[in-house]
Structure 1
Amino acid sequence: MAALYRANPSDGVAWITGASTGIGRAVARDLASQGYTVAVTSRDEERLATLANDAIGLPGRIIPFPCDVTDGAGMRKLVAAIEKEAGAIALAIFNAGIYHPTRGERLDALNIINTFDINLFGVIHGLAPVTDRMRLRGRGQVVLVGSASCYFGWPSAAAYGASKAALNNFAEALKHDFDKMNIRLQVINPGFIDTPLTARNHFAMPALMPVEHAARRMVKALHSGGFETSFPWRFTWSMKLLAMLPFALRYRIIHHLTGWKKRPLAAPRKLRD
């Protein structure tokens, strides 16, 4: 059986969503330094423009393509625009994501829906049109950025963790078909990375990894990783071991490690008619 395709700069464009900040921005620069033409997408046109300027002088180049990943029609048009202006998309990295703290005593339906709109459906809006094109070419590489929170439920991460768990299950199911189309499908599940997203957390984040280190690990996975890559491995493998425990035992351990039992409930909201 022939090995699944892996992209390289001579094959076409690398496209990254959620590229204006954090790990997406760092990966875009790393790929441009390797000679890729990198199409970068987010809603923040100004940050994308500065990212493109930062890449001047590198072997490759970065081209901004602003779009909102929750806009299905817009994403389909965007894929066509990237391929018309920059070339065929050989590598697609779906990195856009958002985190809203989700606590049981203060459930906010709109924040939960927004989390799934970006973290799951935002991937689907871009994946569907780019996969159609990759299939016609007979090759492609797709990377979905998940999270180590996908392995089991963490306090305050009900929406975020559930969206990333759905993304992992989604990828596992699609891999059966993607393999037959010679489209390499990968999932990357990082632990805590020092980005603007995690800066919103008000709790200890074990094994917090600098964004530049995380980007290098992700780029290494593009070149040699299998279906799933997780890092930092000491943290993520601890999470995988915890996931194997009976729920009652794991629940007690997480309750203790996070100090959640001592956290007071927020004051109840006033009821609305």
Structure 2
Amino acid sequence: MGWLRGLNKPIADWQGRRVWIVGASSGIGAALASALHARGARLALSARSADRLQTLAQGFDGALVLPLDVTDPGAFTVSMMQILDAWGGLDLVVLSAGTYAPLRAWDLTADTARRTVHTNLLGVVDGVAAVVPQFLRQRGGAIAIVGGVAGYRGLPEALAYGPSKAALINFAETLYLDLAPRGVSVFLINPGFVATPRLMACVDFETPALVEAPEAARRIVEGMARGSFEIHFPRRFTLMLKLLRCLPYRLYFRVAARSGGRRGDG
């Protein structure tokens, strides 16, 4: 039955596949680099920290180390040219760089919100803009965007982070509509709470169904093997949040408030 098939071309064989991971120095990006290298992929690794990338790359034969800052709009094009010089093409880009800072309305400043949106949203847009022309020339390729369940509905302490992830979800959906007919896959990765150093340093609330980064990488690889458009996990948590999307505002706001929506208020 065709409607049961994945919306993307499944990726099951990673041997020799050319993969560029942006945000590779820690967390999901680093774990995914390890998982794909073990499956035979060729890796290009990008993040702001050149030292961390070099340390990570020591375990990966032939990995390209391409430091970049996603808030620099010209950095993606430079790195893409280096990849093409080295490999002649690209099969998959994973855009996993992101930032989180808890933010409530009474602490909101334009600068704080702008930093989050620039990193989480515009950094992905710039990355996509750099790779799409090559994928169209190749008539194939794949883009994986790491969004997050915080984009499903408004959540406490996510006044800038949540909207940036909601925008990524919309962006990925629209991107799929444009690129799927041209043979380019788009994967939207919406994890729940993943135990990354940045998350654990910032949160001061309970993190239900917490997933370790290697487990997150395994779920992503499995989702790509199915050709899924949206890869979300852990499902016992993400399906509950999807259900909350269906609630009317009166009920949803009660649930969100009980989860901590009024902590620190007044």
Pick one of 246, 249, 255 that aligns with 1:247.
Answer: 249
C-alpha contact (below 8 Å) 1:5/1:139 kept by paired residues: no
Pick one of 37, 52, 69 that aligns with 2:42.
Answer: 37
C-alpha contact (below 8 Å) 1:11/1:90 kept by paired residues: no
User: Which residue in the other structure is 1:146 paired with?
Assistant: 147
- State the secondary structure of the residue aligned to 2:116: helix
Distance 1:192 1:74 in 2: 29
Distance 1:30 1:51 in 2: 13
User: Which residue in the other structure is 2:259 paired with?
Assistant: 257
User: Structure 1 202/10 Cα, relative in aligned 2: closer, same or farther at 3 Å?
Assistant: same
User: Which residue in the other structure is 2:64 paired with?
Assistant: 63
User: Structure 1 79/252 Cα, relative in aligned 2: closer, same or farther at 3 Å?
Assistant: same
Does 1:18 find its partner at 2:23? yes
Distance 2:262 2:56 in 1: 43
C-alpha contact (below 8 Å) 2:98/2:119 kept by paired residues: yes
Match runs of 1:1-273 below 5 Å: 4-7=8-11, 8-9=13-14, 12-56=17-61, 61-199=62-200, 200-258=202-260, 260-265=261-266
RMSD: 1.8
Give the gaps of 5 or more residues in structure 1: 266-273
- Greater length-normalized contact order (CA 8 Å, ≥ 6 residues apart): 2
Give the gaps of 5 or more residues in structure 2: none
| CA drift at 1:30 | 0.7
| CA drift at 1:54 | 2.4
C-alpha contact (below 8 Å) 1:67/1:75 kept by paired residues: yes
- State the secondary structure of the residue aligned to 2:186: strand
The ranges of structure 1 where at least 4 consecutive aligned residues each deviate by more than 2 angstroms after the TM superposition are 1-12, 260-265
| CA drift at 1:6 | 4.4
| Of 1-10 and 95-104, the range deviating more from structure 2 | 1-10
| CA drift at 1:4 | 4.7
* Count of matched residue pairs: 260
| CA drift at 1:218 | 0.9
| Of 117-126 and 11-20, the range deviating more from structure 2 | 11-20
Structure showing greater radius of gyration is: 1
Residues 67-103 of structure 1: per-residue CA shift (max 9 Å, x gap):
1112121211111111212341101111010012111
User: Structure 1 249/64 Cα, relative in aligned 2: closer, same or farther at 3 Å?
Assistant: same
C-alpha contact (below 8 Å) 1:6/1:141 kept by paired residues: no
Question: Identity, % of aligned pairs?
Answer: 36
Residues 39-75 of structure 1: per-residue CA shift (max 9 Å, x gap):
010010000001001235xxxx432110111212121
Distance 1:130 1:262 in 2: 42
User: Structure 1 87/12 Cα, relative in aligned 2: closer, same or farther at 3 Å?
Assistant: farther
Residues 148-190 of structure 1: per-residue CA shift (max 9 Å, x gap):
1111000110111100100110111121111111001110100
- State the secondary structure of the residue aligned to 1:20: coil
Distance 2:109 2:262 in 1: 22
Distance 1:239 1:9 in 2: 32
